Amino acid sequence: MNEEIQIKIIELMDDGAALESSSELRELVNSSDEAKSFYESILVSESAIKGFFGGDKAKELSNKIDAYVDEQLNETSKVSPINFKPIVGFAIAASMAAIAFTFFNSTSQIIDSDLIVYEEPKIVIA
């Protein structure tokens, strides 16, 4: 049996075909023993997958997961609704402005003090 026959069998089964409903699938499966064995192995694999992932336990687990997610989404937020970003930004800007004013103010005082000429005190005799 070649790969083309295998692919055709898989495509027909993916489309929902069964031996009872599809004459094309029936002809492919009955064309050789290998094709029949391949078809049967696909059926066994599908039933094993459905048994592992499907059934009541899977639905129960899915329902538990959905309930947990809904509970988490509906839970009230523990974070305060106040947005602190503008307040923090203003505080940082005010701090930087205070530092800048202090720096520039002290620099201007240093320059002014250099301009003042030191004069010795005069002794006044009265």
Interior/surface letters 6-33, b for 16+ CB within 10 angstroms, e for the rest: beebeebbeeebeeeebeebbebbeeee
Average pLDDT over residues 5-33: 90
Instruction: Give domain status of residue 68, yes or no.
Output: yes
Q: Which domain holds residue 64?
A: 3-74
Select the more confidently predicted residue: 2 or 126.
2
Interior/surface letters 91-101, b for 16+ CB within 10 angstroms, e for the rest: eeeeeeeeeee
- C-alpha 92/C-alpha 84 separation (Å) is 12
Instruction: Give domain status of residue 97, yes or no.
Output: no
pLDDT, tens digit, 9 for 90 and up, residues 39-84? 999 998 888 877 777 677 777 877 888 888 888 777 665 666 677 7
Domain count, the chain: 1
Instruction: Give domain status of residue 58, yes or no.
Output: yes
- Given this model, what pLDDT does residue 31 score? 92
